[in-house]
């Protein structure tokens, strides 16, 4: 299974959680890519795993942000992907998981 990770770029906490999610999935043996804009704001990701969002070819996308981040991902990707939204925004109508539930949800 191949995962894509996208984070809200204007919140440091979202970027840091994105790296923790990325690292967790890599250690768990999954193929993981991160979108270029997330990488540009936090360069800790392996540069070989950086892909423009428009070119994502994944089975599942993990979006760390809020409703606006989910809508951006939905707008920029060319295919329909299952999305797990981790709420780092203000409203969270579209996000399904709170940050403290992230790794439990990913494990399931």
Q: Is residue 89 part of a domain?
A: yes
pLDDT value for 92: 74
Q: Is residue 92 part of a domain?
A: yes
Q: Is residue 6 part of a domain?
A: no
Average pLDDT over residues 12-38: 96
Task: Provide the residue range defining the domain that includes 100.
Answer: 16-107
Q: Which helix (H) or strand (E) holds 2?
A: strand 2-7
pLDDT digit string (tens) for 44-61?
A: 999 999 999 999 999 999
CATH of the domain at 74: 3.40.50.10330
- Cα-Cα-Cα-Cα dihedral sign, residues 14, 90, 108, 53: negative
Q: Is residue 8 part of a domain?
A: no
List Cα–Cα distances, 48 to 5, 26, 40, 54, 82, in angstroms.
Answer: 14, 13, 13, 17, 23
Q: Distance between CA 97 and CA 85 in Å, rounded?
A: 6
Q: Is residue 29 part of a domain?
A: yes
pTM: 0.93
Catalytic residue, candidates 23, 35, 67, 80? 67
Average pLDDT over residues 31-55: 95
Can 67 be counted among the known catalytic residues?
yes
**For 4-13, 44-53, 55-64, 87-96, which range has the lowest pLDDT when averaged over its residues?**
87-96
Q: Is residue 1 part of a domain?
A: no
Number of domains composing the chain: 1
């Amino acid at each position: 299974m191949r995962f894509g990770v996208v984070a809200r770029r204007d919140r440091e906490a979202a970027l840091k959680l994105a790296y923790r999610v990325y690292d967790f999935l890599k250690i768990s043996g999954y193929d993981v890519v991160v979108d270029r804009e997330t990488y540009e704001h936090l360069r800790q990701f392996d540069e070989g795993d950086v892909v423009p969002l428009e070119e994502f070819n994944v089975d599942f996308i993990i979006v760390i942000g809020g409703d606006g981040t989910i809508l951006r991902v939905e707008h920029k990707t060319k295919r329909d992907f299952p999305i797990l939204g981790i709420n780092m925004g203000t409203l969270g109508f579209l996000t399904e998981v709170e940050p403290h539930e992230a790794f439990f949800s990913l494990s399931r």
